[in-house]
Amino acid sequence: MAEHTPPQTSTTPAPLTGHDLIQSYLKTLDGSPGVYRMLNAANEVLYVGKARNLKARVSNYARPSGHSGRIARMIRETVSMMFLTTRTETEALLLEQNLIKQLKPRYNVLLRDDKSFPNILLSREHAFPQIKKHRGKRSEKGNYFGPFASAGAVNRTLNQLQRVFLLRTCADATFSSRTRPCLLYQIKRCSAPCVGYINEADYNALIDDAENFLEGRSTAVQAHLAAEMSAASDAMEFERAAALRDRIKALTQVQTTQGINPRSVAEADVIALHLEGGNACVQVFFIRANQSWGNRDFYPRTGAGAEEAEILEAFLAQFYDDKVPPRLILLSHQIEDEDLITQILSDRTGRKVELAVPQRGEKAELVENAARNARESLARKLAESASQSRLLTGLAEAFDLPSPPKRIEVYDNSHIMGTNAVGGMIVAGTEGFIKSQYRKFNIKGTEITPGDDFGMMKEVLTRRFERLLKEDPDRQTEAWPDLLLIDGGAGQVSAVAEIMSTLGVDDIAMVGVAKGVERDAGKEEFHRPGQRPFALQHNDPVLYFVQRLRDEAHRWAIGAHRAKRAKAVSATPLDDIPGVGAGRKKALLSHFGSAKAVARAGLPDLMAVAGISESLAQTIHDFFNERG
């Protein structure tokens, strides 16, 4: 991999820009594959692109005409370029995607989603395998089925599978400590292997049936259950026959609630794009084992007006960066570098991946259904955005802001008599609540008097803005707020203004939201530094909007406080022992019943606990002996 620098000349002519600048680079380039970056006068990366042939690709930008409005704007803003050659075109694509994620250039298509998708795992690390939801790296031994579109889709499927196959969902520590069956056995959701109500061979037969169902062989499973029910009936085992009948009914219900169940498509992702007015929605349907496992919508940034082929190609490269692609991907639009994307995805999964744009038949119907969902989802999103835009405009008018805020940060504290104090920050913007930007602050200051809300707020804001100043002192990113909303009146606003002035960021608008007369919702008073408080009309949409923001901050802070309090309640001396994490702590408490009993236990007793090695048992024993 080699990097090209700008051409040097002996004189200092007027700086070149646009087409002339790009033309000047051509003589330094050859036909190697690679990646190029286009930068503006502020040294910001405008665009990152890959090329099979760098010279040929860049020469297209050197033409003075024939470009779309988006590309023409990008060329006009370009004052320098950077180039990296690679050995292969595949390397160029991978490097391009890494740079796009890192730099987020204005003119590139960017998928704004970093969530993983859940799977169902049939664990194989126990004689009686557990069925459970799994998210993240597939490090545990077992069979994985997915992805599912959401945790809700997994939970619904797990509940249905419990009714049909009676598999356990409890953790191994819970399983080993049971002396009688739990409620799931009573409501016919588990076969109670924990207390020996089913032997290992029969339980593994249930596991095999569940795997057959999750792999799409549901007809065989249903036929097997029907044969068992008939045999039980003939043997006059009517209670067993009735239980099998209930399982068959549950299996039928699973199949009828799956939604789209294609006959000719066993495994595929169906990906459809709808583009309207520079806004895009990509809808992804997951088809596995001839069953629909849900769908998810995405709203990628379109790079200031990219077209369908470019958006969809960028989506595929970024979406499957950390996900295992299926054997078949059905698309609504043709992409330009289909061979390259196919090669990348096939290399990632270790088997052939096919991309197709079906024109007829069931596959085309699947794509059309996804496209309709994308169209409807984008329409709803645009309607919500328009409503949000009107509210932000109204907020700017009500609070005398120079323009509608793009980022609002709302702060609140939560504690009980100063204990387990937590500060919360929520964020809202042009697309509503931005939950990925929410933050919790455990109050650490030892000098803060318990219950001192001013002191807590000072710590939260100081930590928040000192970090911002360190990470982005020139305010180049979107992480800086346009408006701060504080839960409180004149005193809180005055204190916050002093804190912000001390930090040197006193140019951010702030408003305190205080309960008005009789602390009645709807009679809120708004306070700004150095100005008289005022109120909004009772039926003003902006008032409702501010109430929603404040209530969301309150909900978030209370949730953080409750989680901290619950953790404190469940804290034991075991938390301080090196090597004892949540799983081993749970195993020890399940085995011994209490931390006090663990402290009294001898080495052989500690080593008898699942997951406790001889060396860790010694560490636990020494910990309590030294403390005692």
pLDDT of residue 403: 92
User: 95: Cβ–Cβ under 8 A, 6 or more apart, which residues?
Assistant: 1, 35, 50, 84, 86
Pairing status of strand 279-288 against strand 267-276 = antiparallel
- Read off φ and ψ for residue 132, nearest 5 degrees: -160, 170
Q: Judge contact between 345 and 352, C-beta under 8 A.
A: no
Amino acid letter at 594? Answer: S
pLDDT of residue 149: 85
CA 624/CA 222 separation, integer angstroms: 55
The top-scoring range by mean pLDDT among 229-233, 446-450, 454-458, 602-606 is 602-606
- Read off φ and ψ for residue 376, nearest 5 degrees: -70, -40
Q: Which residue has the higher pLDDT, 338 or 254?
A: 338
pLDDT of residue 208: 86
> What letter does residue 301 receive in the DSSP assignment?
B
Q: What is the mean pLDDT of the chain?
A: 84
Verdict on whether the full-model pTM lies above 0.75: no
Distances from the Cα of 495 to the Cαs of 266, 432, 504, in angstroms?
Answer: 62, 28, 14
Looking at the chain, the whole-number percentage of residues with pLDDT higher than 90 is: 35
- Kindly tell me the sign of the dihedral angle through the C-alpha atoms of 182, 185, 189, 191: positive
Domain ranges of the chain: 2-103, 119-256, 267-379, 407-567, 573-627
Confidence of residue 386 (pLDDT cuts 50, 70, 90): confident
Q: Judge contact between 317 and 282, C-beta under 8 A.
A: no
Stretch (H or E) spanning 461: helix 453-471
Amino acid letter at 609? Answer: V
Distances from the Cα of 273 to the Cαs of 283, 303, 312, 424, in angstroms?
Answer: 6, 15, 7, 37
- Read off φ and ψ for residue 295, nearest 5 degrees: -145, 160
Stretch (H or E) spanning 274: strand 267-276
Distances from the Cα of 30 to the Cαs of 18, 57, 88, 382, in angstroms?
Answer: 20, 10, 14, 45
- pLDDT single digits (tens) 191-213: 999 999 999 998 988 888 888 87
**Which range (350-364, 442-456, 571-585) has the least confidence?**
442-456
Q: Is CATH 3.40.50.300 correct for 407-567?
A: no
- pLDDT single digits (tens) 279-332: 999 999 999 888 888 889 999 999 888 999 999 999 999 999 888 899 999 999
- pLDDT single digits (tens) 23-60: 999 989 999 999 999 999 989 999 999 999 999 999 99
Stretch (H or E) spanning 283: strand 279-288
pLDDT of residue 238: 74
Which superfamily does CATH assign the domain made up of 267-379 to? Answer: UvrC, RNAse H endonuclease domain (3.30.420.340)
CA 141/CA 148 separation, integer angstroms: 19
pLDDT of residue 374: 94
Three-state secondary structure call for residue 114:
coil
The top-scoring range by mean pLDDT among 86-100, 156-170, 415-429 is 86-100
Position 12 pLDDT exceeds 70: no
Position 519 pLDDT exceeds 50: no
Task: Name the CA dihedral angle for 611, 613, 616, 621, rounded to a multiple of 10 degrees.
Answer: 100
DSSP string, 163-186: HHH----S-HHHHHH-SS--HHHH
- pLDDT single digits (tens) 431-486: 889 888 898 888 776 666 666 677 778 888 888 888 888 888 888 778 899 999 98
Domain 573-627 architecture: Orthogonal Bundle (1.10)
Looking at the chain, the whole-number percentage of residues with pLDDT higher than 70 is: 88
pLDDT of residue 64: 87
Domain 2-103 architecture: 3-Layer(aba) Sandwich (3.40)
Q: Judge contact between 225 and 248, C-beta under 8 A.
A: yes
User: 345: Cβ–Cβ under 8 A, 6 or more apart, which residues?
Assistant: 316, 320, 325, 329, 353
Three-state secondary structure call for residue 91:
helix
- The number of angstroms, rounded, from the C-alpha of 85 to the middle of its chain's C-alpha atoms is 33
Half-sphere exposure of residue 628: CA atoms within 13 angstroms, side-chain side: 10
CA 409/CA 229 separation, integer angstroms: 61
CA 606/CA 613 separation, integer angstroms: 9
Instruction: Give, to the nearest 10 degrees, the angle between helix 69-77 and helix 18-25.
Output: 80
| Domains 267-379 and 407-567 are alike in CATH topology | yes
Q: Which residue has the higher pLDDT, 220 or 160?
A: 160
Distances from the Cα of 318 to the Cαs of 81, 86, 93, 98, 110, in angstroms?
Answer: 24, 20, 10, 9, 8
Looking up tokens 């069953």 gives 291
Amino acid letter at 430? Answer: T
Q: Judge contact between 527 and 511, C-beta under 8 A.
A: yes
Query: If we measure between CA atoms, which residue out of 542, 483, 473, 475 comes closest to residue 508?
Result: 483
First vs last Cα of the chain: how many Å apart? 61
